[in-house]
């Protein structure tokens, strides 16, 4: 008998009809002989509603109390799903994060899982229950409720699968797998049968909003086979696993993109040792994440220092930089919020040269100017004017023939019947 951890997101449990449908889906898997742990998010948009209540009440809600409030969304959904399961003859038992317990650190709103005590879950599985666990939350050493940040239910599911040594962790959502790029931008984007942890980590970090990055990191660290599936459309989904010598990879597996980028340039900075640290340390101290970094040395002994941040952090970063520039006697600080990042991702890049130059050539043929470039072993990213984003993605998708599947098309489940 296999042990499966299934996770259903907010769109999968958005209303009572959806919850009844999910209950029937869980019941079907139970009848196939699988032990099941089901992780559930809050009902669709419920977390947004709760967050709005808090911010309408006060401009800066207390982080501890915010976690207490936000955790109630999952309490509703796990109770309703458990009721629905029991109603159709499937024994079920619900658990809040602190009841498992899922132990976390004390970073409210963005806690990290430290340990999981799975004794209660194993006992209930042995007794024939489907165990329904609230995603997104845990408890710290002081007994305070914590939350794991947006998308944290994915991390809950993967962490439970790792701790329970589950045969597979299935992430059910409103898409039927991981695509070569967003089908809304490229209609002939193809669902990938299999993608490596490395590729999925890059795709997630670069804008593919299918899985939370931390969930992918966790799955890779503990070798938890992940499968992304649609709640409402039957199909094999996409398996996320370690690279296998038998896997036939395209050179480029997928294209990720992000519109939420902003660029900042400090011009005329004195070219002396430690200049990068002087610019970036205040940005880091403000908890602002920096992505692409470029430094250009001029003929006059000064340098232009360029980097990108998330668009939501632009105003704060600009304010900090202006103060830093004044102190360093830099010439000016300028920025641009109308940029986008496009990235090619694929483990096949390791053994194929010329991917970056081909990318640049294709974009050049479309009249798209590249502002910044960043590369790694399995990724090439460029920043461009936001208005050219969709044109660039479509051109690259066609040129690298991502609509065509590799030779080995489907990857069977490892689940034991």
Which amino acids are annotated as binding site for substrate, given as ranges?
47, 74
Which amino acids are annotated as binding site, given as ranges?
7-10, 47, 74, 173-174, 179, 184
CA distance 236 to 229: 7
DSSP-derived letter for residue 94 is E
DSSP lists the bridge partners of residue 267 as: 332
Query: What is the C-alpha R_g of the chain?
Result: 23
Cα–Cα–Cα angle for 217, 221, 223, rounded to 5 degrees: 110
Cα–Cα–Cα angle for 236, 242, 248, rounded to 5 degrees: 70
- Count of C-beta atoms within a 10 Å radius of residue 323: 11
Which amino acids are annotated as binding site for ATP, given as ranges?
7-10, 173-174, 179, 184
Alpha carbon distances (Å) from 173 to 105, 176, 216, 380, 405: 28, 7, 15, 28, 23
Alpha carbon distances (Å) from 308 to 269, 313, 341: 17, 10, 10
- Count of C-beta atoms within a 10 Å radius of residue 79: 15
Please say whether the beta carbons of 97 and 131 come within 8 A: no
Which strands, in side-by-side order, build the sheet including 113-116? 113-116, 102-104, 137-139, 145-147
Cα–Cα–Cα angle for 159, 162, 168, rounded to 5 degrees: 105
Cα–Cα–Cα angle for 34, 38, 40, rounded to 5 degrees: 160
Alpha carbon distances (Å) from 409 to 172, 232, 236, 239: 21, 22, 11, 12
């Amino acid at each position: 008998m296999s042990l499966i951890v299934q996770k259903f997101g907010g769109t999968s449990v958005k209303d009572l009809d959806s919850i009844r449908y999910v209950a029937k889906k869980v019941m079907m898997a139970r009848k196939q002989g699988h032990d099941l742990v089901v992780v559930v998010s809050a009902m669709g948009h419920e977390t947004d509603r709760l967050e709005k209540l808090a911010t309408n009440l006060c401009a800066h809600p207390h982080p501890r109390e915010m976690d207490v409030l936000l955790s109630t969304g999952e309490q509703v959904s796990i109770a309703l799903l458990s009721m629905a399961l029991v109603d159709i003859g499937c024994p079920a038992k619900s658990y809040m994060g602190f009841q498992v317990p899922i132990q976390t650190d004390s970073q409210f709103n963005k806690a990290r899982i430290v340990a999981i005590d799975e004794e209660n879950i194993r006992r209930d599985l042995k007794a024939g229950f489907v165990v329904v666990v609230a995603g997104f939350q845990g408890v710290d050493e002081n007994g305070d409720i914590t939350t794991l940040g947006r998308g944290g239910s994915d991390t809950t599911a993967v962490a439970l699968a790792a701790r329970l040594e589950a045969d597979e962790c299935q992430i059910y959502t409103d898409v039927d797998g991981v695509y070569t790029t967003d089908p809304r931008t490229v209609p002939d984007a193809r669902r990938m049968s299999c993608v490596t942890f490395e590729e999925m980590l890059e795709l997630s970090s670069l804008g593919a909003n299918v899985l939370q990055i931390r969930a992918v990191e966790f799955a890779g660290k503990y070798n938890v086979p992940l499968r992304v599936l649609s709640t409402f459309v039957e199909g094999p989904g996409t398996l996320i696993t370690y690279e296998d010598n038998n896997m036939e990879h395209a050179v480029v597996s997928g294209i990720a993109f992000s519109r939420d980028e902003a660029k900042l340039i400090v011009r005329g900075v004195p070219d002396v040792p430690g200049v990068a640290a002087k610019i970036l340390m205040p940005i880091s101290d403000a908890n602002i994440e920096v992505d692409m970094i470029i430094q250009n040395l001029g003929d006059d002994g000064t340098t232009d220092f360029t980097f990108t941040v998330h668009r939501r952090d632009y105003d704060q970063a600009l304010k900090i930089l202006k103060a830093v520039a004044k102190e360093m006697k830099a010439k000016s600080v300028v920025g641009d919020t109308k940029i986008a990042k496009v990235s090619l991702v694929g483990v096949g890049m390791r053994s194929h040269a010329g991917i970056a130059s081909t990318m640049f050539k294709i974009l050049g043929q479309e009249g798209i100017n590249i502002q910044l470039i960043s590369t790694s072993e399995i990724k090439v990213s460029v920043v461009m004017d936001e208005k050219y984003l969709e044109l660039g993605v479509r051109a690259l998708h066609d040129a690298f023939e991502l609509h065509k599947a590799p030779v080995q098309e489907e990857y069977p489940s490892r689940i034991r019947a």
